[in-house]
Every structure is written in C-alpha cells, then in structure tokens.
Amino acid sequence: MNILEFTILIWLGSLVAGFLGSLTGLGGGVVIVPLLALMFGVDIRYAIGASLVSVIATSSGAAAAYVKEGYSNIRIGMFLEIATTLGALVGASLAARVSTSVIAVIFGVVLIYSAYLSSRPRLDIISDDQPDLLATRLRMDASYPTPEGLQIYHVHAIPAGFSLMFIAGTLSGLLGIGSGAVKVLAMDQAMRIPFKVSTTTSNFMIGVTAAASAGVYLNRGYIDPGLAMPVMLGVLLGSVLGTRVLVSAPSRLLRMLFGGVILVLAIEMIYNGLTGRL
C-alpha cells in the first residue's frame, strides 16, 4: 500500500466516523484512535495526535452552528474551561509518561463508559430549583428558547461540576478525544443544566480543551501532517453531512449500531493493551 492508497482509505474511514459520530451525537473522535491503531497499525501516539486535530475541527464547526441558536451558555462554558484546559495540559503531559498499553486500556474503558452514558435516556431533572449562591454571583443562570417561549434555568453544584470537568479535560489530553460524555454528565447530572444547553455548551468547550492538548502534542512531535490531513478532512466533511441529515435519520437504530461498534472497538483496545500489542 502506498501513501496515496493509505490516505484515501483513512479519509474514507474518517468520513464514515465523522458522519456516524455527528448523527448519533457521540462524536467522531472516539472511533478515530481505535480505527487508526487497530485497523491501520498506526502507533497510538500518532493516532491520538490526528484524532485531537479532528476533534477541534468538528467541535468548532458544530459550535458555529449551535451558538446562533441561542442554547449555549458562554459564561458556564468559559468558567468550566479553566478546569478542562488545566486538565488537558495535565493529561497531555501524562501521555508522554504513561506506556502506550496503559493508554490503550484506559481508552477502552472510557469508550465503554461513553457508550453506556449516551445509551441512557436523558431527562432534565426538575427540582424545586432554588438559585445557587455561587452560580448567581457568577451570573451563570440564563434562559434558552423552547416552543413555549424562553425557559429560565438555574445552575447548581459548581464545585462538583468543576472537578468533573478537570477529569474530562485530563481524559481528553491523555486520549485525544473530546470526552463530551463526561462533560455532559458533569453539566446534566451535577450542575442540573437543561440538556439542550449542556450539549451545545459542552460542544463549545471541546474545541478549546482539545486545542490546549494539541499545543502540547504538536510540540512533542505527535502530530504528523501526512496522517492528520486525511483524518481532519474526512471527519470534518462527515460531520457536516451528518448534521444535514440529522432531522430525518432513524437515530435510535443508528445509535445502537454505532454503540455496538464502539463496544467492539473498546474490547479490542483493552485486549490489545493488556497483551502489550498496542
């Protein structure tokens, strides 16, 4: 296989990953690393570098569409980005010290957890909804558009959300993924933010988090242009196509299908990590 064929195959694989990732809301990044490492035999560090780049591309591309709809909350996002960027720098530094087998195993576990989280129905937690003192001080409470008009929401448990975001950032830096699942968990479950707001705000933050890790990866020489090029262009085009058909697609079946693929990839990552093949 020469570079031209290799590039086209990786571009096609990334296109499908980006398409399914955006269609199912799981993000294409989660399957890029296993795809490159398991199917193409790429060293996991190069794979993570290329994946990070694609994460920035899809996040920024999607965020551009989301912000205009008025769901995302810039204040919540910016405040939590302190935690995610700090975490990302820690994670990216860890990546150089931890063996690739360990990274593969952690990757597999996070994949399974992400698939599990996204398979559960997401319901907004309706509570007595007393404003939180810290959230009020930080002016995080806001409103979002619904069919019945603007809905006001209050933000809670900022320290817990902040800590979870630090973990999300660390995983993102270590594994080269957006770790959107952990971010959404922090915002939905801990901070009790309505899920439309948490999904878009999380997506908004993923790009900044990934940029923090990508800087470190670039300086380390983990980002290879020849490999990152087809991955970035493929995932980006795939996710743009995915958002176009979002409305009409039978998303439940697709989610289960993509969830199944992720589970298989996760088990393979763990197996190959444990046997020292990655």
Partner 1 sequence: MPQTHRPWTDEQVEQIVGNLLRTGVIVAALVVLVGGVLYLVRHGATSPDYQVFRGEPADLRSVSGIVTDALSLRSRGVIQLGLLLLIATPVARVAFSVFAFARQHDRPYVLVTLIVLALLISSLAGGRL
Question: Where do contacts with partner 1 occur on this chain (CB under 8 A)?
Answer: 1-4, 6-7, 36, 40-43, 45-46, 53, 56-57, 59-61, 63-68, 70, 72, 74-75, 78-79, 81-82, 85-86, 88-90, 92-93, 138-139, 207-208, 210-216, 218-230, 232-233, 236
- Minimum CB separation of residue 107 from partner 1 in Å reads 16
Tokens 């195959």 belong to which residue? 9
- Distance from C-alpha of 118 to C-alpha of 95, rounded to nearest angstrom: 26
H or E segment to which residue 97 belongs: helix 74-97
- Minimum CB separation of residue 40 from partner 1 in Å reads 7
- Distance from C-alpha of 168 to C-alpha of 136, rounded to nearest angstrom: 24
- Minimum CB separation of residue 19 from partner 1 in Å reads 16
Nearest to 272 by CA among 49, 99, 118, 115: 99
Q: Which amino acid is at 143?
A: S
- Minimum CB separation of residue 11 from partner 1 in Å reads 9
Cβ-based nearer residue to partner 1, 83 or 266: 83
Strand partners, 145: 150
Cβ-based nearer residue to partner 1, 171 or 214: 214
Give Cα separations from 7 to 40, 226, 232 (angstroms): 11, 8, 11
Cβ-based nearer residue to partner 1, 145 or 260: 145
- Minimum CB separation of residue 43 from partner 1 in Å reads 4
- Distance from C-alpha of 230 to C-alpha of 9, rounded to nearest angstrom: 9
Cβ-based nearer residue to partner 1, 6 or 113: 6
